[in-house]
Structure 1
Amino acid sequence: MGRMKRLSDSIADDILFMITIEKKFAPGDKLPNEIELSEELNVSRTTLREAIRILVTNGILEIKRGKGTFVKKNIDLSNNMKSFNTLSNARINAKDLYEMRLIFEPEAAYYATVRATDAELKRILEYGKQIEEKINLGRDRTDVEQKFHKAIAKATHNELMDKLMPVIFQAINKGVILSQKNERVAKDTINDHKMIMEFMESRNPEGARSAMKIHILHAMKDLGI
């Protein structure tokens, strides 16, 4: 039973990911039927039903009898995402996600520093300043954090980088959720981002790579991952 619960939680996370990050289903959209969705997610229909029940309980989905399962129309996805991800679940998932960032993002920073146009570099630096402002004002920085890291990935001029961004976004979102009550994470984020931006601005790819690696390792340490 415990294993079924864990698997259904994981599948609920996958469906939520499709809605919030991949934007595969918008508020009001009908989900594919049970057979199609269970095949796509590679799980039994019983596990899928349990995952859907979790999302219904959390106010993400609604079941209309005789019509199917729908993404609720009037939902604040960001708030639902925060309430749905318990701190323990977020920490478990964050370990894998941050390891993925550690493999991916230092190299992205390296290539972006080499290949970014002046306009792309300016955009990255601007997003970095916005993140610092949001942290200092105590405001949610999820959106601008995503823009900062996406701008770096885009500046690599590698088309496959974009394909990996949804995974990176999920890691960033979980990191922000975990760090909301951790002042040290916020302080380290500001200092680390400054270091990344300084190396990028001076077109030092090795420095940018090292700074990004330090940034992610700092976050992992501060968040207890």
Structure 2
Amino acid sequence: MGIQTNLGVRVDMIHPQRLYQKIGLGLQNRIASGEFGLGDRLPPEREIAEELDVSRSVVREAIIMLELQGFVEVRKGSGVYVIKLPDTCQEEQAPELNRSSDVGPFELLQARQVLESQIASFSASNVTKNEISRLRYYLDQERVNLENGTEDYEYDRLFHLTIAEASQNSVLSDIIHDLWERRNESPMWQQLHSRIKSNTYRCQWLEDHERILQALQKRDPDGARQAMWQHIENVKQTLFQLSDMDDPLFDGYLFR
């Protein structure tokens, strides 16, 4: 049994769909029912999140899903607007969503945070001099790309994959490799990044990588775990803040 809301979604029944898909489908049904017409603005993220008792990151993933389907348009500093009406009802749309294997970008980052922080701790006791040299090279190349304004994240990926390889455990290495493959192939991830127009955040991430490398060089498991956890936390928070499209002057609590 689940809790029914006026979004038309039972928030505690997340299978077989992902939670963001459930919420997105509920919003889609409200559009199809005529509650929101063409050109109408959807409620702000925080209002939806409070109503469903979920995080704003899950709501943002639901909005990204609707954006990819062409039902809404996200306008910076204004909000989310309906630009297309669904042709079918929930029952007809659900199977299409069930076939989607794409995970939400913030859900993916959370999984990486849990796994990569523990792997970094384990790798601190097993890392070789050669791997330290490779990590230093990748970090230097990240810095060069940042200074040149080059939009290339390959050395970022190699930095993380090398830390996983330093665990000397092929299963752990394969898991992180697969997570990064999912990230690179994810339409949800690409859509999230399309909203972000600034790359100043990369300076912070470069400093994070430096702290991780220093902990690995010192063979400090606790330091490596903490540095990796904080790094991915910084990534989550930065992406969330930079992709926020709600009107900053709107406060839904004033209208309750």
TM-score category of the 2 structures, normalised to the smaller one: 0.5 to 0.7
Query: Contact between 1:108 and 1:156, CA under 8 Å: does it hold in 2?
Result: yes
Query: Are 2:132 and 1:121 aligned?
Result: yes
TM-score, length of structure 1 as denominator length: 0.56
Q: C-alpha offsets along residues 175-225 of structure 1, whole Å, 9 cap, x if unaligned?
A: 897286233421211111111111112221211111111110111111117
- 1:130 and 2:146 aligned: no
C-alpha distance in structure 1 between counterparts of 2:147 and 2:199, whole Å? 11
Counterparts of 1:122 and 1:146, CA distance in 2: 16
- Once residues 184 and 118 of structure 1 are traced to their aligned partners in structure 2, the CA distance between those partners, rounded to angstroms, is 31
Given candidates 180, 187, 194, the residue that maps to 1:168 is 180
**1:207 alignment counterpart:** 223
Gaps of 5+ in 1: 14-45, 52-89
CA distance in 1, matches of 2:137, 2:192: 23
Cα offset for 1:172?
A: 6.7
Letter in 2 for 1:157: Q
Gaps in structure 2 of 5+ consecutive residues:
1-23, 29-60, 69-94, 242-256
- The percent identity for this pair of structures is 22
Structure with more of its chain in helix, by fraction: 1
Q: CA deviation at 1:115?
A: 0.2
Alignment of 1:1-225 (within 5 A): 3=25, 47=96, 93-164=104-175, 165-171=177-183, 174=189, 178=193, 181-224=197-240
Tell me if the contact between 1:94 and 1:175 (Cα under 8 Å) persists in the aligned partners: no
Asked if the contact 1:142/1:176 (under 8 Å) is kept, the reply is no
Between the aligned partners of 1:156 and 1:176, the Cα distance in structure 2 is 32
Looking at structure 2, the residues matched to 95 and 183 of structure 1 have their Cα atoms a distance apart, in angstroms, of: 19
- Of the two, which has the highest radius of gyration? 2
Measured against aligned partners, the alpha-carbon deviations of 1:88-135 in whole angstroms (never above 9, x if no partner) come to xx9x82111101111111111111111011111211121122112212
Q: Using structure 2 for the length normalisation, give the TM-score.
A: 0.49
Aligned length: 150
**Superimposed CA distance per residue, residues 64-83 of structure 1 (whole angstroms, 9 cap, x where no aligned partner):** xxxxxxxxxxxxxxxxxxxx
Deviation at 1:47, TM superposition (A): 4.2
Per mean C-alpha deviation after superposition, the further-off stretch among 212-221 and 199-208 is: 199-208
After the TM superposition, list the runs of 4 or more consecutive aligned residues in structure 1 that deviate by more than 2 angstroms: 168-184
